[in-house]
Structure 1
């Protein structure tokens, strides 16, 4: 058994192809990034529970890891946003799709007891919208 303490989960980092587009998407979901973040090489936002969401443009990652390439195949990582109720899932989904984001899975009443939908962020990451059925 190791005497070294386990590291603390502290942040979720995304490498983004278009920082301004990603900021617009996540701000639409209520995440507050500082004004002027669009021109920065790295941005962070506080999340509930003490976590942080980190966005790094591809150019920043390539500045210290020149051979880095975006992963292929996708569909391996997703973020989930809890909505206030089933109708809120529908409204948020319609807002995002109406703003031009890709709707992967329209809202539906999932067998596990949630209203559930999936949209893609500008880089194709799945973003789940959910709320318990009432």
Structure 2
């Protein structure tokens, strides 16, 4: 038996708010998913990104307490140009999301920024310079 990495799951307080954020990052998530307790989205290559509400996890996890500290995962989204990093960062911040790192030219050759999703997870935005 060989385990296969297949899914990245995100614990969310508000499904609709979280999915709206990820739609801004280009994921085609149907509006009907906003009211679901669990949502999966297949990415190119077969890896899945999934969201579970705190209530869903509490339904099968005894003594579940949602984390109160910042997020524990980070996802990275690649853009085509450095200007697109700046534009997407500014759009997300304009929608009320917190900027963790404003766009900058990183020493490793990327235009790079980090915005938090509604649950405090760091979302990296980058493009090769």
Q: TM-score range by the shorter chain?
A: over 0.9
Q: What are the within-5 Å matches in structure 2 for residues 1-134 of structure 1?
A: 5-74=1-70, 76-133=72-129
User: 1:15-36: CA deviations, max 9, x gaps?
Assistant: 1001110010001101122331
Structure 1 spans left out of the alignment, 5+ residues: none
CA contact (8 A) 1:45 1:52 kept: yes
**5+ residue gaps, structure 2:** none
RMSD of aligned Cα (Å): 1.2
Rg larger for: 1
SS class of match (1:14)? strand
Q: How many residues align?
A: 129
TM-score, normalization: structure 1? 0.91
